[in-house]
Structure formats: structure tokens, C-alpha cells
Structure 1
Amino acid sequence: MIAFRIALRVLRRDRRTRTSAILMGAGVAVATGLMLLLVSLPGAAQARVDRAAWQELGAADFVENGDEAAMSLMVVEDHYDDRTITRIDVAAHGDPSAIELPPGVERFPAPGEVLMSPALRRLSGDLPASELADRFPGEVVGTLGTEALTHPDQLAVLVGHTPSELENVALPVNGFAEAGTVWNPTLDLLAGVGVVVLMIPSLVLVASASRLTAARREQRLAALRLAGATPRQVVAAVAGENAIAAVGGALLGWAVSPLARWAASHVEWEGGTWQASDFVTSPALTLAVVVTVPLLVLAAAVVGTWRVVRSPWGAARSERPRRPHWLRLLALPVAGTVFFVLLRNMSSQLGLLLLLGAMGLVVASWIVIGPYLTATFGALFSRVWRKPSMLMAGRRLRHDPKGAFRSSAGVVLAVFTGSMALTVLPSLESLAGSSSPFRDSVLYVYADSKAAVVAERTDAALARYGVEQRAERIAAVELRTDGVGQEAFVVECDSAARLFRVDMGRACEEPGIAVTDSPELVEGVAVSNFEDPDVDLPEGVPVHVIDSESSRGTIPPLIDPSALPAGLETEPSIVAVSVTPETADVVHTALAGAASGLKVESVPAMIASQQAQLDDLRRVTVIGLLAAALLSGCSAAITTAGSVMDRRRTFGALLAAGTPVRLLGRALRTEAAMPALVATVGAGATGVVVGGGLAGLFTQSLPVVTPWVLAPVVLGALTALIAASVCVPALKRVSNEPLSDD
């Protein structure tokens, strides 16, 4: 209680200590609110995945050892106007009531029944049936609840069939996948990266706030120690002084954390926002964060009193701290080695957690290296430059490198994060595109044995809708040479020109085989329909070399039906329809309704899906960078201002001796900005290397490095310069206060 009363008296009497406490409380509040949000990210990601687990075909309860399946299940993605529709087709093999339903699914649909999500039901009701609703033939008998949807606006539909309708196209399963059996590695990785790269700047902000007026506090505590106070009393005084601001800030951060969660729930991912309940943390985890943050502040403050407890006379005389050792440079290669070893062996959620921890070590290694680099460049300034401002800045960087680098730590972390993200994104963007041989204006379905039925139904629907286009049937065969097989499409020449990315040229004048590579590839080749024995191609079949209009993938050989060997029977396996922008939605509906759940594919749909994922990544990257830049800028500004306040007596003496404020301001800006300018380059390079490693999780090629990776370095430098400008107002305030206050 005595220590607490002393702390209250200091706060009442000392205006600078009171200002420091207010700033510390604000920093702790921001850090607490943000960390409560960050620790909820992994749980929010898993909650989103758990709700949609039943929509995952790969995690369903598959039958084993030839047992009788309870149902057939097929899950495909459909599209309307660049929006993804998750379609689940099911057929019960016995009593539907014996099948356990996922939360939010009110009934198992009988054949001809449909359950839609509220968003899809509204959308289909606002459009002509020929554009959307007829894709899901049947009567809408219910609505999927929010417990069954990834987000409130998800477009999802559950369609019931007879077992024969899904025969040979759906998988036999015993039931839907349950919550907890599915995890999204991309979403988990992003959530983990967000926790790592934003929590550390948050802790830096807390540390920066707790270091305000540190020198003045040390002198006051040293005086108490020399006056006879015991080490325990000194520590208690420090704890009491910081506990008021830390606990108050933590409670304020907890109070405003619902606003942060509400804002986070409006960030779109995979086509929709989040449910508010996704970001709710357990009471135990919330209590742990609210208690841990103030404890970290108190621990940092108590550790900072070690010099006072050990040597109060040295603290009172402000002894120069020891210069960092060169062994600090080993922190980065050690952390990098651990990161890449774990990266090469990541195969589970535990491996992902370890990888994120290793990435945190890489980030933290720059905090270890930074003071040594700061001292090195300070010594360089002192030897090379002779301007008074540079000499003063060099002396500060050399004599107190830890304090000088402290303001740069948050900026360095933000630069690392940005460089890493801007290395991963271009590498992912390089994968965007389609290797499909079909043209952009073609919708197609791989229907296999049901292709003929699908084509007939599609033609009937198109005639009913008054659309002139008709379905075209494509058969797949195998060309085999010396035991090596190659898929080829059997299609008439005119249809090939409409459907595929090729220029048929003069190939239609003499029907035969059209290839986009050397004609030797088909000379002396046998052909097979995958079921009957191989049959040699007739001699003299014309082979035409045609031009491909696609830069991605390969175009399979195209065989005119008249060029096939006599007696070789082929059945269509692909149904394709060439569309125009005006008829695209109607043709899509006709094809989807006829395909009974088979996926309707097109090049624009593939690209739209890829672009949606890239847009999600860009969005969260921008939000993360803005948050990291804001946190780092605040911590840098607070640390810079605290540095001026800690050296108030020194600056006051220099001003009294006639040193111009402009000269001191230039020296302060140099010592505040130079460590950041140097360290951001190294952090940017490290971010590129780490980002290249993360990009390897998605691509097998070398990472794509663009000039945009320099943007975080430039942004970090500007942030450091802006934060360094805080020292000038603080210096002017020092010049207006009498030295007798100290």
C-alpha cells in the first residue's frame, strides 16, 4: 500500500509522469484490444470451416470394405455473375431419417426437393427461372440455416435425387463430414501470420509506452534506493506506478474489443463476411490476455529496475550501457535455418504452428540484430562525418544503440511483413489463368457415360428457352505410340473451330487429324476408345499442323469422325455449348439442369474464382499492412518523444549553452531515422526470402519478385521520418521549460 500511495503521489505531482502514464494506458489499450482480436482469428477461421464441413466431399464418411452406403454425395462449384454457388447433390439409399443431418439442415431432401440458403433463394427469386432457378430442378422445400453456411451471404443449395440419377458420378458415403474433421490450410496460415506479424508490433507498442520517461524514473528510484529503500520497496514502487496505467489500459482495451471484432467481421473472405460469433473468444482466453498484457508491462518495468537495484549510484549517474556484441548477428541465420527446415517438413497443423513460430523467430531476430547495426553505423558516423548534427547523432547511436533502435523496431517489423506479402502475392498471381483447351465462350461438362443424355436434355431446355445454340458432343479416344498414350478428341472440324483455342486454317478442307505440334506424333499410331483393343489408323489419314491460340497448356489432337478406323465405336463424354454474352446465363442454366449436379465449367469461371481468391489475399494484406504501419508509427513516435523527455536535462544544458534548436532537431531526426532507414533494407530483404519460401507452399517454381517489394521499404522509411519529426515539438517544449524543474 505504501508503494501504491507513492505512485499516486508521483502521478499527481509530476506532470511528465502523468503524461507518460496516459500514453502508456493508451498503448496498452490498443495492444490489448488488438491482441484479443488476433487470438480470436484462428478460432474464427476454424468456426467458419466447421460450419461448412458438411459441404466438403473429401472429408465425408466414406464406406469401407464394400459396405452398403447410406447415401450418394456430390459437391461442385457453380457460378453466377462472378459469385460462387456451392451445390450439394445427395441421394439416400435407404431410410433418409437414419442419416445424421448437419446443424442448420432441417431435412434430408427427397428426390425432386431442394433446400437453398437465404441469399440464393432471394437471388433466384429476383431472376427469371431460365437464368438461375432451373439449374436446381425441383421444389424448394426449405432453407439452410446460418449454422450450415460459411457466411450469412453464402450461395448454397442442397438438391435431392434418386440413386440412379447420381450413379457413377457421385461418391457412396455413410454420412456428411462432421465439424472438426476439416481444416483450411490457407485460412489457418493467414490467421497465424496475422497473429505473428501484428502481435509483435503490438508488444513493441506496449514496450515503447512503458519506456516513456524511463531515465527520469530510474533517477527517482535511485534516489529512493540511496535514501535507504530496500530492493523490494523499489520494485514495489515501480510496479505500483505502472500498474495503474497498465491495468486501466487493459480494461479499456477489453471494453473496446467488441468494436474491433465487429469491424473484423465485415472483412470479406471467399465471397462473404463473417458471423459475429466467429470472433468470440472463451472467457479463459480473454482473461488470459487481459491479465497477461499488464503483467508484461510490469515485468518489463521491473526488469528495467535491475540497474537501480544493483547499482543505484551508477543509475543516478546514468552510466553508459554496454555495447552489443557481434554474436547478435547469428540470430538471423539461426532463425532462418529453423524456418526453412520446418518449411520443408510441414505436413500437419502442428507443423504449421511450428512454422509460424519459426517465422516469429525470424521477425524477432531483427530486434536482436538491430542494436548492433545501430552501434556500428553510429561509430561510422562519428569517424566519417564532421558536421555537428551528425557527430551528435553518431555519439547517441554508438553509446545507446538499444535505446536508439527501440523506435525503429516496429517499423522494421512492418517492412518485413509488407515485403513478405508482396513476394507471395505476385507468385500466386503468376499461377492465375486457365490451361483449358476450350474457348472463353464455351460452357462444357465432363459427363462421361451420361454425355448423350445430358446433351439431349440440354437441347430440349434450350429449345424451351428459345435459344438457338445446341449442345455439341465430343468423344475422347487414346492415341498410342510405342506404349505411350495420348488423349485426343473426336470432333467435327467446324465444331473444333468454334469450341477450341485453335485456328483450324485449311484443315477443314480435308478432314483428318489436326495437331498443334509435329505431325510425327501421330504417324503409325493406334487408336482406342479406352475399352476395346487398339486399332491402327488407316493409312493416308491427313495430318494437319494447326496454330494454337493458347499460351497455357496444350491442345490435344483433334480427330474428325470420318478419319477414325472402321469398326471403332466411340461414345461422347463431353458436352459443350458455344454461347454469347446475351445467352450465357440461360445456356448455363440449361446445361446445369440437364447435368444433374455435374460441374459446368468455363474459362471465365475458373479465372473469376482465382481472381476472387487473389482479391481476398490483397484485401487482408492491405489491412494487415495498414495495421502494422499504424502500430509501428505510433511506437516509433512514442519512443522518439520519450527519448527527448529522458534527456531533457542534457538538451536543456545544450540550449542554455547556446546550441541552436535547429541543430539539435537535425541531430535528433538523424538518430531517430537512420537506424530505421538502415534496418528496413535488411528487413525488406529478409521478408522477400521468407515470402519466397511461403510461396513455395503454393507454387513449384521460383518466386516472382517485382519492384513492388520495394514499396514497404519506402513506406517504412517515410514512417520513420514522420515519427522522427515528433522530436522537434518535444524539443521545443523542453526549451520552454525551466531547468529548475529537474
Structure 2
Amino acid sequence: MIRFALRLTLSGGREAVTRLVIIAGAVAVGVGMLLSVVAGMNAVGAQNLRYAWLNTAVAPPSSDTSTDPMWWLVREDYHDGHSIGRVEVAASGPAAPVPPGLPRLPGPGEFYVSPVLGELLRSTPAAELGDRFPGREIGVIDRSGLPSPDSLLIVIGRTPAELEQLGAGRVTQIMTTAPSDCDGCYVGLNADAMTLVLSVVAAALLFPVLIFIGTATRLAATRREQRFAAMRLVGATPPQITGISAVESTVAAIVGTVVGFGLFLLLRPGLAAIPFTGERFFTTDLSLDAVDVLWVGLGIPLGAVVASWLALRRVRISPLGVSRRVTPKPPRPWRLIPLVAGLAELAYFIGRRPDSTDGQIAAYISGFLLTLTGLVLAGPWLTMLGARVLAGRASRPAPLIAARRLSDDPRAGFRSVSGLIVALFVTSVATGTITTFVANRGEPRTDSVAATSLVKHFRPEDGPAPTPDQIPAGLGAVPGVRSVTLVHTNPDPDGWRGLVTCAELDRLAVFGSCPDGAQVAVVADDLIGMRAFDLTSDTYRWEAAAVAPADVDRQPILSVVVDTTSRAGFERARTMLANAFPLGRFPASVGEWESNSARQLTQFQQLANVIMLASLPIAGCSLAVSVVGGLSDRRRPFSLLRLTGVQLGTLRRVVALETVVPLLTVAAVATGTGFLAAHLFLRAQLGYPLRPPDPPFYLMVVGGLAVSLVIVASTLPLLRRITGPEAARNG
């Protein structure tokens, strides 16, 4: 029986070959996408593990008495908005531990750099970058010590006395624990959050692919059912018929799986270049272990076979079942239960957010999947409602015929648009969530003083505050520096930390102003504070301080704020301040600090774009295959209608309405449900209410629907060719 099924699959003519190719292509796309997501999860873990050594300061003491202690200091520097990891070390003996990627520890006056930072040092004027790093380059950090090909890292050799003065600590071993598994580690990725998001991506991409497979399997379903019924009449059993129908799907799934693995290997270099963690991956980071290969290599084909089996479950009907077709039972309201249950699950966790990442994944992923499954199950019932509304308002033959056909079999009507509906739901959830993240956490503004002003803070733990004479004399004369402002400490502990005279604020003109009649203002130590999220003008008014202008200069210096008009001036000022005050944090702008906090938002937005760009084309292909398959299955009824005098234009309107009604009906429900699910998730996880997406999202939705309608319109010319008089003959 298997040999017979293979013969039908491989020698069944152009129609069978086309169906086999489409199913295999759908499986290949699904395997390639899922492998990419799984490899992405592995890449996040591999990249995070290479961040481990930068957390050596929190490594527990080594029990190995043969290891000499090492002085260790890690700080973050910046250049042109990019973070530079600056590691300063000093060995106390010949057996001091060596970080990964280095052949040995650098001695005083020596340093190792990452390849990208080395190129940057050679292409940038020394006054803007190189002068910050004492010594000479003696080598390049190997990739085993680089989280990313783009990493900016430098390991500088010092003397123990120098590092002790800079506040360094002593360590006895290099940290090897991944930051996500380490208490107190402060350098690295939030791998658990990335795993959560990538799990959503995997589920979001898998649904449209399985729907595409099921849609492709139903190509020419009517004629295949007739053929299977004929086999039943000559003695074939239901298990044999089921086996024959499953062989085709199995063959296509095997071919598609092999092609999918090849597709993944072909796309892997391009995937590694996508910086969805903020930095690119090494290509080898996108790796697969044996479990991944078995899970995807067996899971996707099995899912394809199940989807095909469900799509063709009617082949198990009795021998006369094809001839004695009756109107299927209409969908019942119970189909709404999973949809309501999924939303109820997400709503349940508002105020009850699980503490662990695993608990959050179980809670939210299951809620989203249940909601998405419920949306697919409820689709036929919603389509039936749309058909009844259309019938109630119809006054012409085409709407009446379309409404009757949709009412008779709303499952078939919904099936053609189900892939697009899933894409709309996933995109609505992703866009609504990202938009709300951005609205509540903000993004750095590169066109405000939050990005153009440089700040050097002086903390009590870094030693005595400097005097005005210790501020570099040439700082204000650097080309591109507009102003240099000293912010003094506010003696009132209940107000902003800084003090500036109103005369100084008036001179600066870009950091706000004083209240009317005030002489001294209470300000943030960076002259920006919380205004960084919405600073667009100089109209902000600080609070007045109960301090005389003459007393301001008597207070210790809290910070130096340098406003600039050019990037070169900004970096030269940073170098001067870093060399003049080597203790504590290096100078940076508020915009650079915000950029670090906004990086994850950018990552999530990139993943949302991936979902959108991958799901919509798959859904469009599913729609096109469904419409063509429906036309092929109804060629004889349409031919008979044409013979009775029905105009070709009327038939085209019937086909169009049969797609447009379920498309628009369920699209509105899918988009609204996606926003509601996103709102419930945001309230449960972050306590944020949903913020409506920006207009580009709605333009994208309208564009996606318009493309779908164009796809439908492109199939209508087939009606003339397949509904000629010859198609009405029995045979």
C-alpha cells in the first residue's frame, strides 16, 4: 500500500507535483525559521557566557593556593555613543590568572584591544580617544574573550600601586559563570528575557507555517476525495485510505525538512549579523545541538503530517459519502470558549505575576497560545456571523450567493484567511507591547542637550571634590565646546543635589531657567535630570534655592557639565576630563546612559519586525493557495452557472466576497484581540496600560489587507479559463 501511495504521490501528474512542491516549500520555511529561532536562543547563551569574565570582580575567592592574586578594575567608557569595556589589571605574582582571549597579562604600559577598537584607535585622532589609554598596544584580544565581533574592549596593564589608588579590588580567579546564572554580576545580557521573547517568536512563526501546510494539502481536495471514495467502493479500508493520504504529506515533510536545514545553513551568516541583543553574533554562535536537531527534525514533519491529516480527515468517509454530501453543521458558540479562556488566563496574572522567569514563560506563553488557538477556532463562527450580516443587506445575486456559500460552510471560508489572521494577531501583540515599552521608558534624544552635553560626576567615595583650579584650564578653549559649567552641592538634602546661579543659567540658555525673582536654582547634577525624556526647549523652570549667589561657590563641586556643538569637541573634552579625574565613572552624556537602558527596547522592536515581515508573506502565500484551490474544486459548479446565463463578472464578485467577508470580519477581531492580549500582559508583567500604536502600524495593517485583496484579484482571471463548457461534462 505504501508503494501504491508513493506512486500516486510522485506520478500523479502536474497537480500532484505542484501540491507536493508547495507542501515541501511550506515545511522548508517552517524548519528554517524554527531552526533560526532555536539557534538564536543558543547564540544568546553563547554570547552571554563570553561576558562572564568581565564580572571577575564578583568571583568568589579561589581555593587554589598556587594562584597569585591580581588587581582588577572594570569600568565603562564611551566613544561616539558606543560603550567601551575598560579592564585594568596588575599581577601580584607570576601565577596570576589570565582572562580568556589573552596569551598573558599585559604589563605596566601595555594593553590588548579588541579588533574593532584597534581599528578605531588607528582611525581616530589621539586627542579624541587614544590619549585616554596609557601605554602601547601589544596584541589583539582573541574571539574567546569577545562577546561579539563588534565588541569594544581594552585590557590595560598597570602597577599594583596605581590600581590600588584607583580603588581596584583583588581577585584570585576569573569568573566563568554566565551573567544570567550569577548573583551580583553586572555585565552581560538578560538572557532569560531574551529566551522569553524568542519563545514567543517561535510560536508566532510556527502557526502561520502549519496553516500554510494544511492549506496546501487541501489543493484539489474535492477530486481527491472522489478518488478516495472510488477506492473505498473497490474495497479499500479507512486505515488504508488514511495511510495513502498521509504518505504524500510524509514525503513532502521529509523533503521540506532537508531543504529547511539547508536553508538555515545558507541564512546563518546573515542571521548572525542581526544585532537583536545590541551586538552581532559570531556565526558559530548560531549552533544546534543533537536535541535541537531531533526536536525540529522530527517535530516539524510530525506537525506537518498532523496538519495534513486534519485537513483531509474527510477522506475517511463512507464510499457513498462524496456523492451524498450534505451541508455541514454550523459552528457553535462553544468555539469562543478557548479564546475567552486564554484572555482570562492573561487577566488572572494581573497583580499575581510569577516571581521566576520559568513561571512567567509558562503563564504568558500558554495564555498567548490559548488565545491564538481560540481565535483560530472561533474564526468559522465569526465568519458565519459576517455571512449572515451580508445576506441581510444583500440586494444583488453575487452577495446573496457568496453569503449562502459562506453560511453553508463557514469553515472553508475562514480557512483561506486564517494564516493572515494569525499574522495580524501576532503583529498586534508585538507592536502594542513595544509601543507601550517605548512610551513608558523613553528613548534617548540625539537632538537635545541630553546628548550634546558631557557630565563628569564627583562622588564622595571617589575622594575629595576637586577645586576650580583643578578643572583643566584648556577645557573651555577646545573647538566645539560651547560652555563649561560647575555644578555645586546643594546643602539641602531634600531638594535636587545641585546648585547653579540664575545668572549662569541665563548665560547657558539651554538648560532651563529660574523662577521669576530667584537668584539661585536647585538643579540636577547633570543639569537635565528627568527632563531627558521630554526635553525639547529651554523653557523648563527649576525650583529656587534658599542660598545666596555668593555662597554657591563655597559649596563643593558636584559635577562638571560641558556642552558641545560637535562630536570632535565632545570627545576631546571627554578625554581631557578622563585624564584629569581618573577615579570613578568616566564622563558621559545622559543620552549615552539612556541608550543602554533603551537597547533592549530596540532589540524587541527588531524581533517584532521579524515576526511581521516573516508572517505576512507566509499568510499571503496561504491565501493565494487557498483561493486557487477553491477555484479548482468548484470549476464544474461554476461552469454550470455560466451555462445557465450567470455572467462571469458575477462569479468573480462571488469569489471576491467569499474571501473579503471573512478577511475583514476576523481581521478586526484579531487586531482587537491582539491589543487586548498585549494590554493584559503589560498590566500583569509591568503594570503599564496599553498605549495605542503609532499610525505606521495601521498603515501596515491596511497595506497587508490591500495586498491580500490584490492576491485574490490576481486569481480571478483563472475563472474564465477553468469554467468553460467542457468543465461541465461529467467525467
User: TM-score, normalized by length of structure 1?
Assistant: 0.83
- Partner AA of 1:149 in structure 2: L
CA distance in 1, matches of 2:52, 2:666: 44
The question of whether the paired residues in 1 share the 8 Å contact of 2:210 and 2:304 is answered with no
Measure how far apart 1:169 and its partner are.
5.6
Shift in CA distance, 673/75, structure 1 to aligned 2, threshold 3 Å: farther
Shift in CA distance, 639/553, structure 1 to aligned 2, threshold 3 Å: farther
Partner of 2:184: none
Partner SS for 2:562? strand
Pair 1:591-2:577 in alignment: yes
CA distance in 1, matches of 2:414, 2:170: 62
CA displacement, residues 201-245 of structure 1 (integer Å, 9 cap, x when unaligned):
122112211222222222211221222112232122112233332
CA distance in 1, matches of 2:172, 2:684: 33
Shift in CA distance, 188/401, structure 1 to aligned 2, threshold 3 Å: same
Measure how far apart 1:347 and its partner are.
3.4
Partner of 1:503: 513
Question: Aligned to 2:124, which of 120, 123, 127?
Answer: 127
- The aligned length equals 697
CA distance in 1, matches of 2:94, 2:501: 46
The question of whether the paired residues in 1 share the 8 Å contact of 2:453 and 2:589 is answered with yes
Shift in CA distance, 279/648, structure 1 to aligned 2, threshold 3 Å: farther
Partner of 1:534: none
Measure how far apart 1:184 and its partner are.
3.2
Question: Aligned to 1:178, which of 176, 184, 191?
Answer: 176
Partner of 2:557: 572
CA distance in 2, matches of 1:323, 1:124: 71
Partner of 2:335: 328
Counterparts of residues 45-444 of structure 1 (less than 5 Å): 45-55=44-54, 60-61=58-59, 75-82=74-81, 84-91=82-89, 94-95=92-93, 97-99=95-97, 101=99, 103-161=100-158, 162=160, 165=163, 175-182=173-180, 183-269=190-276, 272-304=279-311, 306-342=313-349, 344-354=352-362, 355-430=364-439, 431-432=441-442, 441-444=452-455
Please provide the CA RMSD for this pair: 3.9
Deviates more, 1:356-365 or 1:467-476: 467-476
CA displacement, residues 582-621 of structure 1 (integer Å, 9 cap, x when unaligned):
5211111112233436231223434555676655544443
Shift in CA distance, 76/209, structure 1 to aligned 2, threshold 3 Å: farther
Partner of 1:17: 16
Partner SS for 1:86? strand
Partner SS for 2:455? strand
Partner SS for 2:138? strand
Partner SS for 1:142? strand
CA distance in 1, matches of 2:165, 2:372: 53
Shift in CA distance, 118/515, structure 1 to aligned 2, threshold 3 Å: closer
Partner of 1:636: 623
Shift in CA distance, 602/298, structure 1 to aligned 2, threshold 3 Å: closer
- Partner AA of 1:236 in structure 2: G
Pair 1:446-2:443 in alignment: no
Counterparts of residues 616-635 of structure 1 (less than 5 Å): 616-635=603-622
CA distance in 2, matches of 1:556, 1:421: 44
Partner SS for 2:87? strand
- Partner AA of 2:15 in structure 1: R
Counterparts of residues 669-684 of structure 1 (less than 5 Å): 669-684=656-671
Partner of 2:3: 4
Shift in CA distance, 434/10, structure 1 to aligned 2, threshold 3 Å: closer
CA distance in 2, matches of 1:114, 1:324: 72
CA distance in 2, matches of 1:16, 1:300: 20
Measure how far apart 1:81 and its partner are.
2.4
Measure how far apart 1:562 and its partner are.
3.2
Partner SS for 1:89? strand
CA distance in 2, matches of 1:495, 1:347: 49
- Partner AA of 2:665 in structure 1: V
Partner SS for 1:320? coil
The question of whether the paired residues in 2 share the 8 Å contact of 1:370 and 1:405 is answered with yes
CA distance in 2, matches of 1:95, 1:378: 83
Q: Which 5+ residue runs of structure 1 have no aligned equivalent?
A: 518-546
CA displacement, residues 244-284 of structure 1 (integer Å, 9 cap, x when unaligned):
32322222222222123233222234554322122222243
- Partner AA of 2:690 in structure 1: P
Measure how far apart 1:323 and its partner are.
1.8
Counterparts of residues 551-570 of structure 1 (less than 5 Å): 557=545, 559=547, 562-563=550-551, 570=555
The question of whether the paired residues in 2 share the 8 Å contact of 1:680 and 1:713 is answered with no
The question of whether the paired residues in 1 share the 8 Å contact of 2:101 and 2:142 is answered with yes
- Partner AA of 2:154 in structure 1: V
CA displacement, residues 106-133 of structure 1 (integer Å, 9 cap, x when unaligned):
4444554432211011011111111111
CA distance in 2, matches of 1:56, 1:703: 37
The question of whether the paired residues in 1 share the 8 Å contact of 2:353 and 2:685 is answered with no
CA displacement, residues 700-723 of structure 1 (integer Å, 9 cap, x when unaligned):
553321452433431342233123
- Partner AA of 2:513 in structure 1: D
CA displacement, residues 149-204 of structure 1 (integer Å, 9 cap, x when unaligned):
23212222233444664668667766554343423355334322321221211221
Measure how far apart 1:675 and its partner are.
0.8
CA distance in 1, matches of 2:291, 2:563: 59
Pair 1:725-2:713 in alignment: yes
Shift in CA distance, 591/329, structure 1 to aligned 2, threshold 3 Å: same
Partner SS for 2:716? helix
- Partner AA of 2:399 in structure 1: M
Measure how far apart 1:316 and its partner are.
4.3
Partner of 1:526: none
- Partner AA of 1:702 in structure 2: P
CA displacement, residues 550-587 of structure 1 (integer Å, 9 cap, x when unaligned):
6889668485573379xxx8543424334442521111
The question of whether the paired residues in 2 share the 8 Å contact of 1:476 and 1:488 is answered with yes
The question of whether the paired residues in 2 share the 8 Å contact of 1:454 and 1:575 is answered with no
- Partner AA of 1:86 in structure 2: I
Partner SS for 2:320? helix
CA distance in 2, matches of 1:438, 1:17: 65
Partner of 1:537: none
Partner of 1:687: 674
- Partner AA of 2:2 in structure 1: A
Shift in CA distance, 6/48, structure 1 to aligned 2, threshold 3 Å: same
The question of whether the paired residues in 1 share the 8 Å contact of 2:496 and 2:523 is answered with no
Pair 1:735-2:720 in alignment: no
CA distance in 1, matches of 2:419, 2:542: 49
CA displacement, residues 4-30 of structure 1 (integer Å, 9 cap, x when unaligned):
324414642443233222222222222
Measure how far apart 1:364 and its partner are.
2.1
Q: Which 5+ residue runs of structure 2 have no aligned equivalent?
A: 181-189, 525-534
Question: Aligned to 2:492, which of 475, 479, 482?
Answer: 479
- Partner AA of 1:476 in structure 2: T
Partner SS for 2:261? helix
- Partner AA of 1:136 in structure 2: F
Shift in CA distance, 359/70, structure 1 to aligned 2, threshold 3 Å: farther
Partner SS for 2:574? helix
